[in-house]
Amino acid sequence: MKPIVQISLDLINIDEALETAALAMRAGVDWLEAGTPLILAEGLHGVRKLREAFPGVPIVADLKTMDGGYLEAEMMARAGATHVVVMARAHAETIKCVVQAGKDFGAKVMGDNMVCESMVDGAKFLEDLGCDYVIHHIGYDERRGIAASGQRMPSPLDQLREVVEAVNIPVQAVGGLSLEQAIQCPQYGAPLVVLGAPLTIDADSFKTASGDLEGSLRMICEAIHSQTTVLPKKT
């Protein structure tokens, strides 16, 4: 699978999100993500505005569904989302409902294994229930809390190869990756590369990062797109 670059619009203002999305598309980004902060701040109005501004571009609605799976997925799809996110820690019936709604309304389902006791088992669980993608995710608060205690900050790269080897659907690694680590993801077998905090979003103020963001994004996209995803041999 050719690597895909997704930008996470973890912003709290739709106008800034639209400006950042336009900049990202010029730089070569493939998918846009209406991040959780944007959906909380703007509701599905934010997804609709992104769809109006970028027809034909895949849009991920990262609402992190935990219950009411069918309705939430339906609403996101009707607003223009092509991909919706459900949590592995949700009840199996919720995940099944999101998958069914995805089929009914033409949206792909991304299952997020954040805070699973076993990240590998969580990924398998999501695949078994019909998710189209796995998001291998170390959460924002978890990373910061562990780092504040003086321990090594966990990274999704710690178990990324194991997760990739455990499933037969594409995997995305999320959670505090550096620029170099994000670019390396296809070499771990994870072709869906997310650019978010701290690469494009100031994680403390939830504002677009300063500096030549478009130029930086263009170089990142070129580096990722030039690769071939290295898939592990399944045993």
Per-residue pLDDT tens over the stretch 162-203: 999 999 999 999 998 888 899 999 999 999 999 986 566 555
Q: Look at domain 4-225 and name its CATH class.
A: alpha beta
The first and second tokens of residue 234, run together, are 């399944």
pLDDT score for 154:
86
* pLDDT at residue 216 greater than cutoff 90: no
pLDDT score for 230:
84
Q: Mean pLDDT across the chain, nearest whole number?
A: 92
116-152 per-position pLDDT tens digit: 999 999 999 999 999 999 999 998 888 889 888 999 8
Residue 190 makes CB contacts below 8 A (sequence gap 6+) with 136, 160, 164, 170, 171, 172, 173, 229
> What average pLDDT does the segment 1-6 reach?
94
What pTM value is reported for the model? Answer: 0.93
65-117 per-position pLDDT tens digit: 999 999 999 999 999 999 999 999 999 999 999 999 999 999 999 999 999 99
| Contact predicate 78/51, CB 8 Å | no
Domain ranges (residues) in the chain: 4-225
How many Å apart are CA 23 and CA 144, to the nearest integer? 29
